[in-house]
Amino acid sequence: MEKANKIKGGDVREASRLIRNLEDSIPEAKSTIKHIFHFTGHAQVIGITGSPGAGKSTLVDGLIEWSRKKGKTVGVLAVDPTSPFTGGAILGDRIRMQRHAEDPGVFVRSLATRGSLGGLSKAVGDAIHIMDAMGKDVILVETVGTGQQEVEIINHAHTVLVVLVPGMGDEIQAIKAGIMEIADIFVINKADREGTGKLQRELMAMLDMSPIKPGGWRPPIIKIGNAFEPSEFEKGLDELTTKVLDHLEHLVKSNLIGDRVRRKTTHELNEALRAAILEPVLKVLVSTGELDRMIDQLLKKETDPYSIAEEVQKKYLQGCI
């Protein structure tokens, strides 16, 4: 409880230690996070997702600055599901964000993904809770990754920004991977480049074909020019932040904010149940070699996955279901 109170008071060292301990699945951390939960629910969470190199961190940096100018405190979570290979990118982010290091209103952490089943999503959720409990007004979650990992961000954020870059050739693929549905706002970064118009037209055509989102929100497309041209970058950023605020207002006005919070809470409970029920069972099945035997049986077509699952269910959930 004392640790949770310290975090509530904004203690950076205690918060950092807790995030690390949760990442390393240290049991004691679990009891602290239980107390943290009561202090959460105040922060505005913005997810920033897109391909590596799309300029997400540059954008996050701009959003930090904008938030600070508005007098808001900021938490930043950089999520890197492919840790061994992109260590350099995270290092780059650290250096870039160094200029905020002296600012007590900014708390930056990165998360690698060593966890097991659903581990990343749970770690992200916990880290957001910690920053929220610390009293951060805005939490920016940058995810590097593809497909499922990116899509999961929707379970944590109020507003999801999908960052695309012209001329990379992977735009449509990213959209196919389910990105289209999760975007609340599209950002075309490096919009001084050739291919911006084409990308914008493609996005608009896809939006025209997509089902209307709940509450009638049509994701706007914001173009942000060269990040190294301060006036151009700021203009894009202004437009983007206006839309982020519009989106939040839309969620509140149309009562959709309640749906998002409910979805987030449902997801969280699912993850906790998975960790408490499925994972321990899987652990036993793996350590006793039973899982391998089951797979052998399946390969020989001696049984089927459903029958095995029923057997496991009988054994471990006897009398409950």
Ligand X SMILES: Nc1nc2c(ncn2[C@@H]2O[C@H](COP(=O)(O)OP(=O)(O)O)[C@@H](O)[C@H]2O)c(=O)[nH]1
Q: Residue numbers of the site for ligand X (CB under 6 A)?
A: 52-58, 89, 92, 189-190, 226-227
Choosing among ligand X, Mg ion, none, which partner's interface includes residue 143 (Cβ < 5 to 8 Å by kind)?
A: none
CB 66 within 8 A of CB 235: no
Report CA Rg, the chain. 21
Choosing among Mg ion, ligand X, none, which partner's interface includes residue 55 (Cβ < 5 to 8 Å by kind)?
A: ligand X
Q: What is the smallest separation between the CB atom of 63 and Mg ion, expressed in angstroms? A: 13
CA–CA dist 59, 48 (Å, integer): 9
DSSP class per residue in 176-203: IIIIHHH-SEEEE-STTSTTHHHHHHHH
Closest by CA to 169, choosing from 192, 144, 198, is 198
The order of strands in the sheet holding 106-112 is: 106-112, 74-80, 138-144, 44-50, 159-164, 185-188, 221-223
Q: What is the smallest separation between the CB atom of 300 and Mg ion, expressed in angstroms? A: 46
What lies within 8 Å, CB to CB, of 140 at 6+ separation is: 46, 48, 60, 63, 64, 74, 75, 76, 77
Task: Enumerate residues 38-77 that contact Mg ion by CB under 5 A.
Answer: 56-57
Taking phi over 0 as left and psi of -120 to 50 as alpha, with beta for the rest, 147 belongs to left
Tokens 């957001």, located at residue = 128
- Of the two residues 32 and 149, which places its CB atom closer to Mg ion in the complex? 149
CA–CA dist 67, 163 (Å, integer): 19
- Of the two residues 8 and 56, which places its CB atom closer to Mg ion in the complex? 56
Choosing among ligand X, Mg ion, none, which partner's interface includes residue 149 (Cβ < 5 to 8 Å by kind)?
A: none
Question: CB nearest Mg ion: which residue?
Answer: 57
What lies within 8 Å, CB to CB, of 287 at 6+ separation is: none
- Of the two residues 131 and 308, which places its CB atom closer to Mg ion in the complex? 131
CB 125 within 8 A of CB 271: yes
Task: Enumerate residues 265-294 that contact Mg ion by CB under 5 A.
Answer: none
CA–CA dist 306, 133 (Å, integer): 42
Choosing among Mg ion, ligand X, none, which partner's interface includes residue 227 (Cβ < 5 to 8 Å by kind)?
A: ligand X
Q: What is the smallest separation between the CB atom of 34 and Mg ion, expressed in angstroms? A: 32
Q: What is the smallest separation between the CB atom of 58 and Mg ion, expressed in angstroms? A: 8
Size of the site for Mg ion (CB under 5 A): 2
- Of the two residues 32 and 110, which places its CB atom closer to Mg ion in the complex? 110
Residue 23: both structure tokens together: 């990442």
Q: What is the smallest separation between the CB atom of 58 and ligand X, expressed in angstroms? A: 4
Choosing among Mg ion, ligand X, none, which partner's interface includes residue 243 (Cβ < 5 to 8 Å by kind)?
A: none
- Of the two residues 56 and 243, which places its CB atom closer to ligand X in the complex? 56
Three-state SS for 130?
helix
- Of the two residues 92 and 305, which places its CB atom closer to ligand X in the complex? 92
Q: Does 143 bind Mg ion (CB under 5 A)?
A: no
Q: What is the smallest separation between the CB atom of 195 and Mg ion, expressed in angstroms? A: 21
- Of the two residues 55 and 118, which places its CB atom closer to ligand X in the complex? 55
Q: What is the smallest separation between the CB atom of 158 and ligand X, expressed in angstroms? A: 21
Q: What is the smallest separation between the CB atom of 69 and ligand X, expressed in angstroms? A: 20
Choosing among ligand X, Mg ion, none, which partner's interface includes residue 54 (Cβ < 5 to 8 Å by kind)?
A: ligand X
CA–CA dist 112, 252 (Å, integer): 33
Residues that bind Mg ion (CB under 5 A): 56-57
